[in-house]
Amino acid sequence: MKLNKTHREAFVRAVMADVPTVDYDQLIRDVALKAAVDQLPPDVRKVWDNPDLRAYVNTRYIYAVGFKGVAIPAQGGDEFEFTEAAKAELKDLDAKQSAQETHLDELEAKLRAAIYSCSTRKQLAELLPEMEKYLPPEGSATRNLPAVANLVSDLMQAGWPK
């Protein structure tokens, strides 16, 4: 069976979806929120810690690292400052996320190079036998037919032929 672009892209997406990753965005949000909550006055902290009362604490959106934002409890003044320890942890998580993204991009590029070097399912199965489960079933040729229902009448309504 000849591989087309749809087969190849589905293969790449399926394989990459099974590569384990760490959700650094959520870790960054968690660290930023914890750092903000740790700076709350004790009485406000009691209200924040009670899920039934948390809605009564005003929140605002800040950017923790780059464009990764989080809603934190609003505090007096316009600026919120992370502690040095929180800044260091956020910077470390951001660096780890960048490294993970670079690694995943490299893996995807290698995978694309491998699959685009094969023109048939059989060639790809021989090249990457461990990934046979991601290949389309034999004989599952896709036919992308254009939508032609009412095409002529739509063209005539638009003034065709001129």
* DSSP-assigned letter for residue 19: S
Tens of pLDDT, residues 82-105? 889 999 999 999 999 999 999 999
Tens of pLDDT, residues 120-131? 888 888 888 888
Q: How far apart are CA 108 and CA 110, in angstroms?
A: 5
Q: How far apart are CA 2 and CA 57, in angstroms?
A: 60
CA-to-CA dists, residue 135 to 10, 13, 19, 20, angstroms: 9, 11, 16, 20
Model confidence at 139, in pLDDT bands (50, 70, 90)?
low
The pTM (predicted TM-score) of the whole model is: 0.71
Residue 160 has pLDDT above 90, yes or no: no
Residue 23 has pLDDT above 90, yes or no: yes
